[in-house]
């Protein structure tokens, strides 16, 4: 899936419904927003597998900006505060797209 997403982005192909026929239309719409930068300023919930454990951890996030193919996303734990505890991370556009398709990212 990651290779296919990278190829679509590289080629400027936006026909996600054809590339991923099992995806619903609304999922393709959000995927288009991810690729075009339309998710900047949106809040997310991102599920990460905890290293060395079988436990998943949910982090709140806010997509801060897109520069080239790299998003800056501010993440903070669910029991913490965006302003006080948020930490910026660089996330490649294709990585965010794959995590969204896999259900590890939810946009609000």
Task: Report the pLDDT value the prediction gives residue 33, as an integer from 0 to 100.
Answer: 97
Task: Report the pLDDT value the prediction gives residue 71, as an integer from 0 to 100.
Answer: 99
Radius of gyration of the chain measured on its C-alpha atoms? 14
pLDDT in tens, 1-59: 899 999 999 999 999 999 999 999 999 999 999 999 999 999 999 998 877 778 899 99
Task: Report the pLDDT value the prediction gives residue 77, as an integer from 0 to 100.
Answer: 95
**What tokens were used for 72?**
């800056």
Q: Which domains does the chain have, with CATH numbers?
A: 2-107 (2.30.30)
Question: Residue 59: helix, strand or coil by DSSP?
Answer: strand
Compute CA distances 108 → 21, 43, 61, 92, whole Å.
24, 5, 10, 20
Dihedral of the CA atoms 8, 91, 101, 45 (nearest 10)? Answer: -150
Task: Report the pLDDT value the prediction gives residue 53, as an integer from 0 to 100.
Answer: 78
pLDDT in tens, 47-101: 988 777 788 999 999 999 999 999 999 999 999 999 999 999 999 999 999 999 9
């Amino acid at each position: 899936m990651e290779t296919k997403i990278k190829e679509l982005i590289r080629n400027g192909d936006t026909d996600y419904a054809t590339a991923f026929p099992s995806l619903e239309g609304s999922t393709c719409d959000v995927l288009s927003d991810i690729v075009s930068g339309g998710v900047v300023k949106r809040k997310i919930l991102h599920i990460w597998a905890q290293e060395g454990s079988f436990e998943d951890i949910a982090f709140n996030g806010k997509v801060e900006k897109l520069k080239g193919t790299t998003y800056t996303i501010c993440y903070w734990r669910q029991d913490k505060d965006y302003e006080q505890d948020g930490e910026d991370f660089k996330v490649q556009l294709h990585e965010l797209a794959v995590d969204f398709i896999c259900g590890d990212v939810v946009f609000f």
